[in-house]
Structure 1
Amino acid sequence: MGGQTGEHRPALEVRSPVTELSDDRLGAVRLLLKRDDLIHPDFPGNKWRKLAGNLAAAAEQGAETLLTFGGAYSNHIAATAAAGWHFGFRTIGVIRGEEHLPLNPVLARATQQRGMQLTYLDRTRYRAKRDPALLAELAARFGPFYLLPEGGGNELAVHGCAELAAELVGQVPDVDVVVCPVGTGGTLAGLAGGLGPDRRAIGVSVLKGGGFLAEEVASLQRAAFGHETTNWRVVEEFHFGGYARRTPALNAFIDDFAKRHGLVLDWVYVAKMMCGLFAMVQDGRIPAGSTVVAVITGRCADAVRP
């Protein structure tokens, strides 16, 4: 894939481990964590699942450049930059909003260590990211590119996340419910499609005003599978102020989780999902007696013990 030399090609353990979580707040619910954050340091969580098929397609098409969209703290932007560095593609990141210097750690690493070139669109123009006229303008400026949509969610990504579902069912055959965070819908679309009708998938939106996400998931399923499945839903009340926003309540949950379990949760995606999961256990939306798998889609870290 691409033109990078072999020593930079990542050795990826695609089959990620599952660990069981013991927590007295769960009552009669059995909870396991699907640790996709351990696949590779540059491709934590769901990023390799979404990227692998697209990188193969880009290489088959002879593309030299990957262009994608994302927010200033986007894990997808970081993973695309890393993919370009590892596999020999030039990368362009189209960032929502104005440039802020110095760059935050996500964008600084993408540019300074992984060679991504950034450009910015104000929020009004960014909403037109699928407009052919805007894409033509970007092609005129940067040259031909292979387009990765915001969050990496397209048919190839959905199929990659369906393979994730098959993998975790093989590891936890009695799973009833799979929970994941939702930013663009691709992971939830693939998981639900891969789980089959007898298991449920719940997506926890990390966006304020995420009511549009249900149609995004349905649209991705139609494109990938030719039909929608009925075994999923999106819950919207655990966004904690919106994308890349956090509140004292979320911070307290992260701190408490780290003390209990020795794991510092990614606050942009995973912590919101886990907080929502515990709330849904306590209010009965996840019934007692269920076996639940939470997919860790973002970078987490071991807690520092005193």
Structure 2
Amino acid sequence: MKLAQSPMTYHQFGDIHFALKRDDQLHPQFSGNKARKLAWLLDTTLPSDITTLIGYGSVQANSLYSLAALAKLKGWQLEYYVARIPQWLTASPTGNYRAALALGARIIVTETQPAEYIENVRRPDQQCLCVPEGGRSQWAQYGVEQLARELLTQISPSVRQNTIVALPSGTGTTALYLHKALASHDIQVVTCPCVGGEAYLVKQFQSLGEKSHPHILTLDNKHHFGKLDKQDYKIWQSLFTATQVEFDLLYDPMMWRCLMDWLPNQSRTSLVYIHQGGVLGNESMLPRYQRKFG
């Protein structure tokens, strides 16, 4: 399996003409930035004694589904640790949680923070492979460099100095390594901090040992990760109407809100947007939005 060579399509959203890197079309079970982050694990020969894949994070994280698919493919057992599972979700599984269960994932609620529980209670041995939350690891650079190489074949050399590549950030791993790969080609990478604030995102960048970082955009008002936001919902609906492409409801709307404020004042005018995949998560988020906002 090669998680690479996604197509580029071209669209207009309001006054913004942009190219869309369709990483949502890489693979039904591996899409968006998670596909790029996990590419190394798929392409590398790993120790034959590994039997268990261990991860942690939100019960509806895109990474849960991708890790479950990886474990199924490799013949491993996925143990995924979470702080809580809402009762309604246990009663009626949906989204990434539902799909991961169908692939055989063991989703375990911990009494302490999942990362601490894994280290102090689970104590993985040599038969375990542990993946940091959101795939924030140096081995993610492998797949992101492949993404950069694809972009360089799809962006004409004559317009590279005029090009902005945009994508939202959770841990910021993909944006960081994409910036590292494209900076020498004079292509600017911009991102926004969806999970925490700018300081949180910079700290994530620094934890990976990189001193040069992508440009960070922020909103004027505080944005709460995972909380239903009417502006996010409206821009998500507008994006679909304009492009007939479904975007992720959790990350993409904030990035587009930032871009719409920031782009009109920039001298670079050629935009490439990296689709984040993760649309399976909309299965659980969209009904919540519809109940609240119609």
With the shorter chain as reference, the TM-score category is 0.7 to 0.9
Partner of 1:167: 150
The residue number in structure 2 matching 1:179 is: 166
- 1:251 deviates by 1.0
Report the counterpart of residue 11 of structure 2 in structure 1: 21
Q: How far does residue 210 in structure 1 lie from its aligned partner after superposition?
A: 4.8
Partner of residue 272, structure 1 = 254
1:148 aligns with 2:135: no
3-state DSSP of counterpart to 1:22: strand
1:211 corresponds to which residue? 199
Post-superposition offset of 1:93 = 0.8
Deviation, structure 1 residue 273: 1.9
Secondary structure in 1 aligned to 2:53? strand
User: 1:3-18, aligned counterparts within 5 Å?
Assistant: 11-12=1-2, 14-18=4-8
More displaced stretch, 243-252 vs 63-72: 243-252
How far residue 280 of structure 1 moved from its aligned partner, in angstroms, is 1.7
Taking the aligned partners of 1:49 and 1:238, their CA distance within structure 2 comes to 31
Residue 152 of structure 1: CA displacement? Answer: 0.8
Q: Cα RMSD between the aligned structures?
A: 2.6
Report the TM-score, using the length of structure 2 for normalisation.
0.83
Q: Is the 8 A contact 2:194 2:254 kept in 1?
A: yes
d(CA) in 1 for partners of 2:129 and 2:188?
Answer: 34
Q: Report how many aligned residue pairs link the two structures.
A: 272
Q: What letter corresponds to residue 229 of structure 1 in structure 2?
A: S
Report percent identity of matched pairs.
22
Distance 1:214 1:257 in 2: 29
Q: Deviations over 1:223-280 (max 9, x none)?
A: xxxx5225x1223328974322231111111112212221222101223222322222
Matched, 1:116 2:105: yes
The question of 1:66 aligning with 2:45 is answered: no
Residues 1:60 and 1:256: Cα distance change in structure 2 (over 3 Å): same
Alignment CA distance shift 1:117-1:181 (3 Å):
same
SS at match of 1:146: strand
Partner residue, 1:304: none
Q: Classify the secondary structure of the residue corresponding to 1:59.
A: coil
2:122 is the counterpart of 1:138: yes
Tell me the CA shift for residue 62 of structure 1.
Answer: 3.1
Q: Distance in 1 between matches of 2:50 and 2:120?
A: 16
Match of 2:216 in 1: 234
Instruction: Pick which of 232-241 and 172-181 moved more.
Output: 232-241
Which region of structure 1 is more displaced relative to structure 2, 163-172 or 268-277?
268-277
CA 1:19–1:240 in 2, change beyond 3 Å: closer, same or farther? farther
Corresponding residue for residue 5 of structure 1: none
For each residue in 1:207-229, what CA deviation from the matched residue of structure 2 results, as whole angstroms up to 9, or x when unmatched?
A: 24352111211332x2xxxx522
Q: Secondary structure at the match of 1:137?
A: helix
CA–CA distance in structure 1, aligned partners of residues 2 and 257 of structure 2:
29
Structure 1 residue 296 corresponds to structure 2 residue 279: no
Structure 1 contact 180–188 (Cα < 8 Å) conserved: yes
Flag the 1:75–1:58 CA change in 2: closer, same or farther, 3 A. Answer: farther
In structure 1, runs of 5+ residues without a counterpart are: 1-10, 302-306
Distance 1:210 1:65, change over 3 A: farther
Q: CA deviation at 1:289?
A: 4.4
Q: Which residue pairs with 2:23 in the alignment?
A: 36
Rounded to whole Å, the distance in 2 between the matches of 1:19 and 1:169 is 15
SS at structure 2 position matched to 1:212:
helix
How far the C-alpha of 1:171 sits from its partner, in A, is: 0.7
